[in-house]
Amino acid sequence: MEVTPCPNPKPHFVVIPWPVTSHMIPMVDIGCLLAAHGAPVTIITPPSSAQLVQSRVDRASAGHGGSAGISITVTALPFPGAEAGLPEGCERLDHVPSVDLVPNFFDANAQFGDAVARHCRRLLTHRRPSCIVAGMCNTWAHGVSRELGAPCFIFHGFGAFALLCCEYLNTHKPHEGKSLDELIDVPVLPPPFEFKFARRQLPLQFLPSCSIPEHRLRELREFEMAVDGIVVNSFEELEHDSAARLAAATGKTVLAVGPVSLCGGGARAPPSLLDFRAASSVDDDSRRCVAWLDAKKAESSSSVLYVSFGSAGRMPPAQLMQLGRALVSCSWPVLWVIKGADTLPDDVSEWLQCNTDGGDGQCLVVRGWAPQVAILEHPAVGGFLTHCGWGSTLESVAAGVPMATWPFSAEQFLNEKLIVGVLGIGVSVGVTKPTEGVLTGAKDGGGAGKAKADVAMEQVKRALDMLMDGGADGEARRTKATELKAKAKSALEHGGSSYMNLEKLIQFAA
């Protein structure tokens, strides 16, 4: 992506991510894209996330000629978690250990907003903020922006289609009074598209079991209605005019500026893929992933199935075993990322130890973090079994990799409809119920409970067979995925839709 900096004076953006890993990463990438367009950016974060933020900034800087190429300041402000009754170091929502502490986290974040406001006032003396881009639950950001006389944009972490569905639900309320299993019609795109969801498949704010306090949900809706605009990690060619329809439905400026995971690449190969082969700062698991994929590519391109359910995805042990049995019976190589592996029961851990191979075997298990963008970009990878989180969805689209869909919660069932029914680049595993987590009422986050498996090994295997060996249908999915990859790249290039929307955001703030 070649960028021509905007002329002086350049508006100063303050980016304040909602402290959840899956939200922080794309928001930092948005800040990097704005900086690549010539706008100075300050990113405000709690201390425990400062290293994550700085590493993303450094990567983007390297992709644009070093620190002289872009201007980004990372500012860590104290997060009052202990004062709100949270465990020490608990500064991201996905680190909250219990549903009972979710209200405490929102209380701490509200106090964090006071610290942000004080810092923004100090910025007035040398670099006045011109625009605030705030994560979805940083509802106090609108008051800060009004005090500064600056516009405020919200970032939800959802795609435009999911946000359009949410706007319809907020406005028309078809879910109210319905049972969890009752189907709800959400007619947000014209025929031939049709969208029906069980209430239990809707985003958290529309569920009776949501652990976010009601007054916080009201604040979120008030924030959505008060902001000047919406920034979306997407590109206009992807979601069938959903961004334009969202703008019409809300009366807000809606700017699709993604896929933001491409922010650091420039015109060369993805830096993450190059760096992970040799960089001394990379951990052993990351190097092991790429070395294993390199060996599989030598055998056959596009043969590997990648399996990951996001930064917070945890399955009940019984369900994990059904998935595992399907994966180890596959006729193609599998790279499987398991989060929370250290909390699994002994019998499950022993089964994994005996049935997966950390060397040159057919199923490589990574316990913890893996370099997802590098993995998806690797030519050995031919399919992705995903929870349909929007960040993972966009990363897969940007890499041209078809998906098998296994939504867990949040807006992921909405994303599945887009992936499978609208874009035609995915196969549904057939999950009908969300996987409980800390925001939906499970005391243990779903990973250590005794819940039975909802999806049997045979059902998983059928979907994966369709994804990886899909004949004419599979070839059609791969062709569509390849076409979308090219459109994603073009969107961020000079004159592309996302490039121009970044320029519009800068002009809005000027």
| 337-347 per-position pLDDT tens digit | 998 788 888 89
Q: Which of these, 433, 409, 432, 423, lies nearest to 477 by C-alpha position? A: 423
Q: Hey, what CATH class is 271-488 in? A: alpha beta
Distance CA 42, CA 410 (A): 29
Going by their DSSP bridges, the two strands 253-256 and 363-367 should be labelled as: unpaired
149 three-state secondary structure: coil
Rg for the chain, CA atoms, rounded = 22
Do 1-155 and 271-488 come out as alike in CATH topology?
A: yes
What integer is the mean pLDDT of 474-501?
A: 97
Model confidence over 350-409: pLDDT tens digits?
A: 898 888 865 557 899 998 788 999 999 999 999 999 999 999 999 999 999 999 999 998
Question: What distance in Å separates the CA atoms of residue 164 and residue 167, rounded to the nearest whole number?
Answer: 5
CATH number for the domain running over 1-155: 3.40.50.2000
Residue 70 has pLDDT above 90, yes or no: no
Spatial CB neighbours of 380, under 8 Å, sequence gap ≥ 6: 293, 294, 296, 297, 300, 301, 302, 303, 304, 333
Q: Average of pLDDT values for 316-326?
A: 93
On whether the CB atoms of residues 371 and 276 are closer than 8 A, the answer is yes
Question: In terms of pLDDT, which residue wins out, 108 or 354?
Answer: 108
User: Within its chain, how far is the Cα of 467 from the centroid?
Assistant: 22
Q: Residue 343's pLDDT is what?
A: 82
**Residue 10 DSSP label:** P
pLDDT-derived band at 282, boundaries 50, 70, 90: low
Domain boundaries, the chain: 1-155, 271-488
pTM of model > 0.75: yes
Q: Which two tokens stand for residue 216?
A: 């916080």
**Is the pLDDT score of 74 beyond 90?**
yes
User: What are the tokens at 154?
Assistant: 């919200």
